[in-house]
Amino acid sequence: MTPGSWVRGNLRGLPRSTVLAAYTSLPMIPTISVAAFGLEPGVDTPFGALQELPSWAARELEVRGMNVPATMLAGATGRDFEHLRDQADRFGCPVLVLEQRLALDLSSPESSMGSAERMHALATAAVRLGASHVSVALKADNDETSLERVASILREVMAEVEQHELTLMLLPQEGLTDDPERLMALVKLVGGFRIGIQPSIKHAMAHGGLEATMRRLAPYAASVVADDVKLIPELVELLQAVGYENTIALHPIRAHQLGSWKTMRDVLHTAIHGESEA
């Protein structure tokens, strides 16, 4: 999937002004990582019910989309899904990525069956939300046997992912998918154009540094998590250098403080567009 197709697929159906803005003003699209608030359903947030998230994100932060953790949707009804998608369409702030941040256990054949079923359920939920990407954290040992087993499971899951025209991204996780080289090796072993990686600043810094690691992972990414405000300018510079044109998800430490979101948003905007004229 090319960067352009990511933009086209996720802005389809939005007002023309929104689409044009995404192409002309936002070569890297700012979104929010809702996981910054926590992963539990009913977690305290400044926007109230989850269905009000698109309104809050568009109004307060002027972002273009959301990465939403699946755990926040626990217990949601079909009507809840419909309401969230309607609000997302109304405010031009769609759910782009449905995230499974609590690691799915693929450490043994026995545990893998339930985890594979969970990934199938995530694909179905993503379609209902209008998302085009699912990201998952996986628990598995870092050895060759695990690498082959996990790749085999993911290839089976990818059949449904591709049928729904979704893309599956792997979240770095302690074990098999912690080391960037192993993470890329797994993606290559699975194969295809609809599997990738969802990297973050902090993970890159812990594994060789932002410059070296993000340059390698960015070509596999459709969403990069910006979880260190101080390093956003450096992140944007190197992503521009490799031609990255997808989303950057804001993920502040103090998520319950609106100022933290706005500071991070402003830093990202300046890094992409330069200082505004007085």
Please count the other Cβ atoms lying within 10 Å of the Cβ belonging to residue 130: 18
Please count the other Cβ atoms lying within 10 Å of the Cβ belonging to residue 183: 24
**Residue found by looking up tokens 């996780």 in the block:** 173
**β-sheet with 223-226: strand ranges across:** 195-197, 167-171, 133-139, 95-105, 66-69, 29-33, 247-250, 223-226
Of the pLDDT bands very low, low, confident and very high (cuts 50, 70, 90), residue 276 is: low
What is the tens place of the pLDDT at every residue in 121-146?
Answer: 999 999 999 999 999 999 999 999 99
| CA quadruple 183, 194, 101, 75: dihedral, nearest 10 | -160
What is the tens place of the pLDDT at every residue in 78-106?
Answer: 899 999 999 999 999 999 999 999 999 99
Of the pLDDT bands very low, low, confident and very high (cuts 50, 70, 90), residue 11 is: very low
| For the chain, domain boundaries | 3-269
Task: Indicate the pTM of the whole model.
Answer: 0.88
The candidate with the shortest Cα–Cα distance to 84, out of 100, 72, 255, is 72
What is the tens place of the pLDDT at every residue in 199-256?
Answer: 999 999 999 999 999 999 999 999 999 999 999 999 999 999 999 999 999 999 999 9
Phi/psi of residue 223, each to 5°?
-150, 130
What CATH superfamily classification does 3-269 receive?
Answer: Divalent-metal-dependent TIM barrel enzymes (3.20.20.150)
d(CA 95, CA 101): 16
Contacts of 18 (CB under 8 A, 6+ apart): 11, 64, 92
The candidate with the shortest Cα–Cα distance to 63, out of 100, 13, 26, is 26
